[in-house]
Structure 1
């Protein structure tokens, strides 16, 4: 998976450099190097940033009738930037993607200013699109546990080791609150031997690492998978493997969960990422404090974690309305 992401990032970066004016391409090359080496952004994030800036420059070129050079970027007006955003909106691009699009352009603009190549003030003068606030949708505890139980896959015709693998991955998402990319990025050496530890080091967004506890039941599932896996799990290779032996793809896990939803009668909100939401919400409901949950999830800001407090209070009010004798009066 990592090599595929790196290849996609390289293609996006080549497209950006090929489609830009010479002086802009030279500046973009330095910006891309900084994203990879200094900021240590993942290949997937670099791909998205390169693609967004390439699109931004392409829309400017279409509007101006030629590729903008550094002088043209410095002379940009807020009206021109808004026109680019409006063109994207007309294509049906949602606000969250628009926000990332503008963030990538601003990142490039800051690089130009830092390197003394000009200041693109218009980018800072334009307000980012508003993103509608939506609450995470955690699963009921019994549904989350059912998703991580290999016994619930009795009707699945896939090979037993694959069913055990899926259960182990989903158990990590729910038991430790990992992102799917973090779980699939683990190597065999990252997992403690049974009875010899209960923590793992997880590599999260932006190359940041954190220590995460792992429940004994989850470690047992991972050990069962490792013993059943028909491929050699080298210490420095991917822990979770696909049917042909390569690193497991997130899409395979998503498809497995889609099949599981039908078999278990789960809602559409039952996704791999919903297990991470469930971990945080259920931990908070059991008395966990937000600061500790922030550290376990790897959130850079406490405000990101605070959304789970809103989820918990919403669930509490729903239970009160359904159970309290005076709730409807």
Structure 2
């Protein structure tokens, strides 16, 4: 609801954020379908869905989400530090997302073609890999998995280094500047942490951990949940640290609905906003600067006379 607002969705980064949020919602829906499968697993259609459809869609959405986070990081750095117009044509963003969807969909076809439902000796259906195709799809799956882990980590790390180098150029205290750019740094830190921890365990799991051990399988599932943290906490990662996105969220009806029952809390928020605006107006008497991002305020003297803060 926040990212589809006019001033966000018309930006190139807004296109990626809308797609990322859509993937997060679809992933939560797929989580809920696991409950239906667990309750009514005797149905043949549900077994077929659990063997082919659910793993395929889940992995495709997860991998696309990971790659989109890397693209968002690149977009934030390019618009903030290299003066790239964030309101440029969105056709390129749509083209990139379309090609990512095709690429990820093809690389995960093993979830459909390398699996098959079979009957055991007792007449129960179970899902298994076909042996002639297993070795080929095994190498494809492992190689693409590390592509989804290593490439996004490198991109996020380079973006962090670029932001840090820009922060060090300012004469102000650098650790205070980090708090100002936390909206770009926080997503990259979280995603690198989640991907690296799971990637290390996945490597150990494939090389020296016994698959038949239930403890290690349960541990693997626990580490697998780390990959879903960016999707589950989209609001906390991308909206809360960003003053511009948070301001757009505060204009939604859902925000007024959430805080209408807490008038005291709403009053404190309004007082804080008033004090923050007064502080920003005071800084307008200092050295002038230009707007480079959606989060910057124009502190030009002529603009100060109008006392009107706009994008």
Say yes or no: TM over 0.5.
no
Between Structure 1 and Structure 2, the one with more helix by share is 2
- Alignment TM class, shorter chain as reference: under 0.3
TM-score of the superposed pair, with normalisation by structure 2: 0.26
